[in-house]
Every structure is written in C-alpha cells, then in structure tokens.
Amino acid sequence: MLREKPVIVQQATDLSAIGGTTSEFNALKESSLSEKYEIVPMVLPKVHKRINLQDIRFYYTFLKKIRPDIVQIRGAAVDGLNAQIAARMVPGTKILVCVYGMFSELVYMSPIKRMIHEHIVEPIIFHMCDGISCVYKRGDDRHQLKEYKNKLLPYVYNRMPSIENISSNDKAVLRKELQIPAGAIVGVYCGRFNKEKGLSYLLDAFQMMKKMWPEHLHILMIGDGDYREEFIEKCAGIGISERIHCVGAKQNVHPYLRISDFFVMPSLHENHSIALLEALAADLPVVSTDVGGNGEIVRDGIEGLLVPSADGQKLGNGILKMSNDEALRRVFKNNIAENAYPQFSNAHVDAQLDLVYQKMLSKGLRRQK
C-alpha cells in the first residue's frame, strides 16, 4: 500500500545554528506543507569539502533506512555530491538539487578550483539528479544549466524572515552604546568581511563621498572576516573613523537593523540574499549592487536603489541619495510593505515549493511501504 504522505529528506547543516538551513527547516515543519509531506532533516556530523567515502557511507545508511521519495540536495558543491552519490544507490529515490549558488561563479576563486567545479563537479551533479530548482528566476539562465533545461523545475525563493521590533527606548539605548547620535541617519551593512562582498568598492565609495559626507550620516558595519582589520585601517586613512561603526559579528542582528534607516549591499556576487530579505523585513530601503538575484528582491526605484557592481562612485552616489532624501526612503518603505511582504511570504514560498515537489513526484510511481 502507498505511504500516507511522501517523505522528503532535506540535506541540512547543524540544526542548532541560527539561520540558513535551520530557519528553512523550522519554517517547513511549521507550515501547511508538513501536513502534506513528511519532512526529515539529514545532518552530517562533520561536512567535508571533498569527495569523502565516510560521508557517502553516512548518507547511504541514513537514506537506506528511511527510503525517501525525494532527497533534496542543497547546492551544486562537493558536499552535495557526496549525498547525491549515496541517494543514487537507494532505489526509487528521486534527487532534487536546489541551486543557491555555484562555486564556479565566485569572483575570487582560483582558476584551477573554478575549472574543477565548472567542468567536473557541477556537470556530474546536474547529470545525476532528477530535477533542478534555482533560488531565483534569473538563476535558470546560467550557462552551466543550458544542457539540463529538461530538468529545470520552477524556482523557489528564499522566504522573508520574521524580524522582531524593539521599543523606541531600546533603540535610543543601543544607539548610545554605539556612539551614534540620536538624530543620525544610519546606513547598515551586514555580512562577511571579505573581498567577495565588494567592501573594497565600499571604501572607494567612502573616499568619493568624503568631501560631501553629510553631517547626519553614520555607517554601521556588522560582521567579521579576514578583511575586517584592513577595512577599519583604510577607513581611518580616509578620515571617517568617527562615522563608521564596526561592531563585529552578532548572533542576533535584528536590533541593529531596527536602529538603522537603510541597508547597503556592495556585493560582487549574491544568489537570493537572506541579508536583503532581512533588511526588507525590517522595513529598510536598500542601496545594492545589481548582481545575482538582488534585482528580484529589490527593484530599482521601487524598494531601493540598484547600482552596477564594482563601481564605487555609483555606489557612493546611491548612499548619498538615500541618506539625504527622507521622502524617498518613506516611499521605498511603503513599497516594501505592499510588494515584498507578499512576494516572499511563507504562503507564497510554500506554494512554490509544493509545485516543485509535485513535479518531482510525477516523474515516477510513488514508493510502496
């Protein structure tokens, strides 16, 4: 007899962590999809970034016991390939690859690693799977996927997280702790400190803005990474240290978003950015580079301002425009509530994912008990 409902195994990372696969898995367990599908996480104790027999054995043992209808692989990388090899050895299991990003697209990856991923790892992953779903619409147009159009399924956006509000008093207290004046306009960056995030071009923007830096403008920088100390030193060299507040990595960034007035994303490469979705959930207009799926989250002139990547001058002009125009920020905030909330809501994302699951299941007969 048929199972009561299909079993979906999701490859996941540490479910004790905050964000990422943890947030997605918890959202699914609490959604209406949990009534339609049995959703099971598959968590490897330690992820290896290479083909690893121990990892394959772990995945195979796990999947053989559960015998799922679908295994959902996260990303086109080597750790996903280990899970995919194991899943292919379990008869009747269909493999869904959810493409968030590709290592071969990273700007600062070495040529050898890029070649290995683009010409070996990614083709094997796409050849072995039964279906491919990208995390944003433009992702379907990647040249790496042109040979696998018959496997492409509807895209599924990341969902907008819930951002708790804080009181006016708490906002004032936090600003005071950070030495940000009460009446300041605050632009906030939240992400890793590395070159992939375009921070060298943010410094170019600051350099361009120096002579016309608004008295009211302060920039809050949240995150950590190899480039952080150099970034702080270069801000000092420009002479803007008093206006730049680098607070390090924070387990909960929500209060810092709530004390800000707009969000800045200078990235050279993004997929469907959770950071941008968090910004919109906090009602923050955005100044962002138009890379990856950013333009599907923020539309230029509607929820924020989009600028070309690797262009410090245009990024700086966008920051100046956003910081100086209160009426424009207010228009963007209203548009966020009207447009972004429904587009990335749990209900909309669940409907997209349900369609993908149904198309995967229709590729063959349901598994018997």
Domain boundaries, the chain: 7-159+345-361, 168-343
Write down the pLDDT at residue 119. Answer: 86
Write down the pLDDT at residue 2. Answer: 61
- Confidence category of residue 113, pLDDT binned at 50, 70, 90: confident
Name residue 219's beta-bridge partners. 187, 244
Cβ within 8 Å of residue 40, ≥6 positions away? 7, 8, 9, 10, 66, 68
Return mean pLDDT, the chain.
90
Cα–chain center distance at 173: 30
Q: Mean pLDDT, to the nearest integer, of 171-182?
A: 96
Asked which of 24-28, 84-88, 283-287, 329-333 is least confident by mean pLDDT, the reply is: 24-28
Write down the pLDDT at residue 132. Answer: 96
Write down the pLDDT at residue 365. Answer: 45
Residue 118 confidence (pLDDT) above 60: yes
Let me know if domain 7-159+345-361 sits in CATH 2.40.10.10: no
Phi-psi map region of 67: left, alpha, beta (phi>0 left; psi -120 to 50 alpha): left
Q: Domain 168-343 belongs to what topology?
A: Rossmann fold (3.40.50)
Residue 21 confidence (pLDDT) above 70: no
Task: Confirm if 103 and 117 have CB atoms less than 8 A apart.
Answer: yes
Residue 259 confidence (pLDDT) above 50: yes
How crowded is residue 336: how many other Cβ atoms within 10 Å of its Cβ?
A: 22
Q: b/e string for 167-191 if b means 16 or more Cβ within 10 A?
A: eeeebeeebeeeebeeebbbbbbbb
Residue 123 confidence (pLDDT) above 60: yes
Task: Confirm if 15 and 44 have CB atoms less than 8 A apart.
Answer: no
Residue 262 confidence (pLDDT) above 90: yes
- Confidence category of residue 1, pLDDT binned at 50, 70, 90: very low
**Closest Cα partner for 270 from 288, 253, 256, 285?**
288
Structure tokens at 134: 């990208």
Residue 48 confidence (pLDDT) above 90: no
Residue 200 confidence (pLDDT) above 80: yes
- Confidence category of residue 18, pLDDT binned at 50, 70, 90: very low
Write down the pLDDT at residue 231. Answer: 98
pLDDT > 70: percent of the chain: 93
Write down the pLDDT at residue 17. Answer: 46
Separation between Cα atoms, residue 353 and residue 156, nearest integer Å = 6
Residues recorded for the chain: 369
Residue 173 confidence (pLDDT) above 60: yes
Separation between Cα atoms, residue 361 and residue 369, nearest integer Å = 16
- Confidence category of residue 46, pLDDT binned at 50, 70, 90: confident
Digit-coded pLDDT (tens) for 315-332: 999 999 999 999 999 999
Q: Mean pLDDT, to the nearest integer, of 106-134?
A: 87
